[in-house]
Amino acid sequence: MATPSKTAAQTGLALQSIGTAVVIGSDLTMTTTISAFFGIHFGRRATTALTAAFHVRLEASTKTSGVGFWWPLFSWDSDIATCSTQAVSGTVNAGTNVITVSSTTGFTVGSLIYIDNGTIANSEWGRQKALSTNVSVTIEDNLNNAQTGSNMYTAAQFIQCVLDVSMFTRMRVVADGKDAGQNCAVEVLYTTCDSFG
């Protein structure tokens, strides 16, 4: 059986806070790519309900360069309901997974959370593995960054899709929060299958 050659840890849209705006990512080169896995992280930065859903589109162009001629290959709309938040107590070091809080109200084992750091690039996502009531939230994986003065939000979402991109040379990510009514955190990562050896 042929062994696929893959390129991992690619960024389709860098982690950022998007308010009532439309952010269009840079062109993603797919010239020699057969297929691609895209993972979208979405996090809330306020507890009130969104005015309308936040939208993310993955688009491909039929042109090899320049503007225009973009078609959506995948489209996703966020949930809009209210969510819960808790402040992280003290400093929780990178490489650990127990996050101290003064209250665990609104947090549920198995659910996804977004950890909003004052430096947006140091924010991250996790899945709740255990709760110690009004003491801590344990997530499945260790933190990549130390979290000090951060806030955790429920209602985070992970979205994924695998696309056949063999017919295209360019793709892009469009993050559309123009009607959401508040800032949200978004990042898009992807891995490509480039050849079979």
Tell me: do 14 and 40 sit in the same domain: yes
Q: Using CA atoms, how far apart are residues 21 and 183, in angstroms rounded to an integer?
A: 9
Q: In terms of residue numbers, what domain contains 148?
A: 85-153
CATH number at 122 reads: 2.40.30
Task: Give the per-residue pLDDT at 67.
Answer: 85
Q: Which amino acid is at 97?
A: N
Q: How confident is the model at residue 26 (pLDDT cuts 50, 70, 90)?
A: very high
User: Does 132 lie in the same domain as 42?
Assistant: no
Please check whether residues 40 and 15 belong to one and the same domain: yes
Res. 197: pLDDT tops 90:
no
Task: Indicate the pLDDT class of residue 70, thresholds 50, 70 and 90.
Answer: very high
If pLDDT is split at 50, 70 and 90, which confidence band does 193 have?
very high
Both 99 and 167 in one domain: the answer is: no
Distance CA 166, CA 171 (A): 11
Give the CB-side neighbour count of residue 14, counting CA atoms within 13 A. Answer: 4
